[in-house]
Structure 1
Amino acid sequence: MTDSLINNNSMKKFAVFGNPIVQSLSPTIHQMFAKQCGEQISYEKILAPEDGFTPAANTFLSQPGAVGCNVTMPFKQDAFALASVDDQAALDAKAVNTLMKRSDGTIAGFNTDGVGLVNDLLNHGVQLQGKRVLLIGAGGAARGVIAPLIASGIASLHLTNRTKAKAETVASETGGGKVKVVGIEDCDKVAPHIIINSTAASLSETLPFDMNATLFKECETAYDMVYRAEPTYFMQQALSLGALQVLDGLGMLVEQAAASFTIWTGYKPKTSAVIDVLRSQLKAK
């Protein structure tokens, strides 16, 4: 009995906040990381009321043993407001997906989505250095990946969105003047090597816009941030239009979690086995 009490006292506590939250894979992912790294953790899903994230997060983080938490929809902007933020990706996105309690009691905020995307691309052998990238969509998902993409050494980053004005706002607020906006109708002129879909269009079996083979003429990799058990609609279409390789966002999910885990514990967990487990769970459903 005493042993378990000692273990509980030394256990690091984590959580993920969202609404809804039942679907979150974060506890599974982080428990696998902890096992790899010999860390004892508890990791729970917390359903916060839509207008009650801040008190819920403060209550969790004020517990003894609480180290940090992940934040998913719709609370990433609330987490940004709650935290002290130096992380460029989080400043660009005006959204935070990782909170950590500092020793002085203040709360630091990070956005690890873009690092997750870049690491997943690199894991798949995608060459980023000197490449032309087209990023589709101008929501929070796009904002969060801009700084890490630029830092990876790409040649150019073009942003396109159905509402061009929204893309122009994002370009003016992120990337230090390095993000160029291109109209939907002119995307093929970019001749992108890498095309990243940050919209959720695939979830409704649609495309972010009407794509053609010219757009994919030089496309080495087409990446969809959403994931399914089978290739997404965007991936299927990109492949048929000439993309050499297509990837979904499951690896990004695991890699952004790994970046959070590193922030909290200092350990860099291996991700490939975790991705394999999740992929097989998805297919078994």
Structure 2
Amino acid sequence: MSTPRFALIGHPVAHSLSPRIHAEFARQTGIAMEYGLIDATAERFDAALAEFAAAGGAGANVTLPHKARAATVCNHLSDRARRCGVVNTLIRTATGWDGDNTDGLGLVRDLTDRHGQDLRGRRVLLIGAGGVAHGVAPALLDAGISGLVIVNRTDSRTDALADLLGEPARVHPRNFTDLHTLGVFDLIINATSIGHASDGGELPLPNSLIAPRGDVVDLGYGEAAIGFLAWARACGADQLIDGLGMLVEQAAESFKCWHGVRPDADAIYAELRAESGSPAAMA
């Protein structure tokens, strides 16, 4: 009997830590699996997924730029995938693909369980309205935040995410040009490349956004998060958190979707954190 095959599909994916994370989960649980990387452009996504399925693919993680497209190829979406409109976890069934999204639960688990955050009643700024932002926004609302302000470079995408969430009393789409009028936030989450080396520009953010004892999260990790977290540190943020914890927590939830058991993410998190250093140290 062949070993079940899993993969991460995205573009690019060569840098991904997912194979290492899932190898640790497989070792920990004693579950046999292969986990590889599939680099596919947007134009190649459907064909690459079909080829993977034909070769015996049992499940996949989906990353940029395919999360929205992945939702459209599924026969069935979980409640949380339907609510956020994007998919990061595919499960092969006898009739095709089922879709789920574990990003939001992964983020909330990292913030609350690992970093001791109490999200209830907090005013949150979410920078970005792409696939990752879609994945985390519903979970933040479910965690009890008092308000979510979403800003993005493209107004139509910001409005679309706000409409999808369907909570006008708590969710407020805004433009970057509004930021200096929006007051301060207890938690700021960067779900874009702003502040990353690839973004190539100065941060288009006022220095007065962070409330006293306010915290900042960049959903990137490693070198990608250094610029944004350095800005946050200079602005007086309390906790500086990168996306490494979310990465391992969402992976653990995906593993549970495929195998019915949730592995312990702490060991691989500690290993990867020791190698990369703490966000505060990097900033």
Q: Of residues 189, 203, 206 in structure 2, which corresponds to 1:211? A: 206
Task: Provide closer, same or farther for how the CA distance between residues 194 and 175 of structure 1 changes in structure 2, counting only shifts above 3 A.
Answer: farther
**Which of 88, 104, 109 is the equivalent residue of 1:114?**
104
Cα offset for 1:50? 4.3
Corresponding position of 2:32: 40
User: Are the equivalent residues in 1 in contact too, given 2:64–2:131 (CA < 8 A)?
Assistant: no
Distance 1:216 1:173 in 2: 27
Q: TM-score, normalised by structure 2?
A: 0.85
Structure having the higher Rg: 1
Q: Distance in 2 between matches of 1:230 and 1:246?
A: 14
Match for residue 95 of structure 2 among 105, 108, 112: 105
- Structure 2 residue aligned with 1:3: none
3-state SS, counterpart of residue 222 of structure 2: coil
**2:18 alignment partner, one of 4, 20, 26:** 26
Please, which of 259, 279, 282 is the counterpart of residue 273 of structure 2?
279
* More deviation, 21-30/225-234: 225-234
Aligned to 2:195, what secondary structure does the other structure show?
Answer: helix
Equivalent residue, structure 2, for 1:237 = 231
Match runs of 1:116-155 below 5 Å: 116-122=106-112, 123-155=114-146
Quote the offset at 1:91 in angstroms: 3.2
Please give the alpha-carbon distance, in whole angstroms, between the structure 2 residues aligned to 1:76 and 1:230.
20
Report the residue type matching 1:114 in the other structure. G
Output the CA distance in 1 between the equivalents of 2:105 and 2:203.
Answer: 23
**Offset of residue 141 of structure 1:** 2.0
8 A Cα contact 1:113 1:256, kept in partner: yes
Shift of 1:221: 1.4
CA distance in 2, matches of 1:20, 1:216: 32
Shift of residue 133 of structure 1?
1.2
Partner of 1:257 in structure 2? 251
Q: Residue deviations 1:100-147, cap 9 Å, x none?
A: 012x33310112222221111112111112221111122222122111
The CA distance in 2 between the partners of 1:148 and 1:28, in whole Å, is 26
Paired with 1:22 and 1:81, the residues of 2 have a C-alpha distance of: 25
Corresponding residue to 1:74 among 47, 65, 85: 65
2:187 matched to which residue of 1? 194
Q: 1:182 to 1:218 in 2, by over 3 A?
A: farther
Instruction: Answer yes or no: is the 8 Å Cα contact 2:180–2:206 preserved in 1.
Output: no
Deviation for aligned residue 1:244: 0.9
Instruction: Work out the CA distance in 2 between the residues paired with 1:200 and 1:126.
Output: 24
What is the distance in 1 between the residues matched to 2:175 and 2:220?
A: 23
Question: Quick check: 1:206–1:233 contact (8 Å CA) kept in 2?
Answer: no
Label 1:176 to 1:230 Cα distance change in 2 as closer, same or farther (>3 A): closer
**Any idea what the Cα deviations from partners look like across 1:241-284, whole Å, max 9, x if unmatched?**
1211110111111111111111111111111221222234446x
| Aligned partner of residue 232 in structure 1, secondary structure | helix
What SS is found at the alignment partner of 2:125? Answer: strand
CA contact (8 A) 2:179 2:206 kept: no
Over the matched positions of the two proteins, sequence identity in percent amounts to 37
Q: Deviations over 1:9-57 (max 9, x none)?
A: 2633211122332222111110101111111111111233542322332
Amino acid at match of 2:31: E
2:140 aligned counterpart, secondary structure: helix
2:152 to 150, 161, 164: 161
How many residues are paired up? 272
Matched, 1:58 2:50: yes
Please say if residues 98 and 112 of structure 1, whose CA atoms lie closer than 8 Å, have aligned partners that are also in contact. yes
Which residue of 2 is the match for residue 94 of structure 1?
A: 85
- Where structure 2 has 5 or more consecutive residues not aligned to the other structure, the ranges are 278-283
